[in-house]
Amino acid sequence: MADRRTDLLDTALELVGTQGMRGLTHRAVDTAAGVPPGSTSNYFRTREALILGIVERFIARERAMATSPQDDIEPSAAGVAEALGRFVDRALGPDRAVTLARYAILVETAQHPALREGMAVGADQVDTWALDLVTRAGSLDPARDLGVLANYVTGLVLHELALPSFDLDARARIRTVIDALGWEH
């Protein structure tokens, strides 16, 4: 069972994902979470602190979207394509609000540079984990390939949110990109 802080952050993610950044207030999180007024501000004194908490939480949620319950991904081209395909499926389906919140927070970060440091810390954690994975999976240029894959998946998800395909096969598309990068098999 999640703790109160995590529950509040999950509620805040849902609010941002469904109402945008304008819907994010301490009071709105309290109301949506069904907790006494002031509960969210006890954990996150400022809006910036709440946003940074949301960043931390969406990074954890997004990593879970790509991994199995055991946090294992087969270190191969097929394994990476499967994991990223699973991420796309969840980002467009059951975790759609988390995905929309991520994009809203990225825009907020672009407009409020004070948030960049918190975003960078989370991004560095994900990059370290993912760089190790693509290296073990056979990438000959892991830094380049991680950038290509991350940007491709981000663009694919964004495009599919706006203009969904009825027959999207994200795994096949991602595998095509990996094969074009020339990974060892």
| The model scores a pTM over 0.95 | no
Q: Which of 2, 1, 122 is nearest to 51 (CA)?
A: 122
pLDDT of residue 68: 55
131-168 confidence digits (pLDDT tens): 988 999 999 999 999 999 999 999 999 999 999 998 99
Cβ neighbours of residue 52 under 8 Å, at least 6 residues apart? Answer: 115, 118
Residues 138, 140: Cα–Cα separation, whole Å = 6
- How far lies 162's CA from each of 13, 62, 108, 159, 181, in Å? 19, 19, 19, 5, 27
The per-residue pLDDT of the chain, averaged, comes to: 89
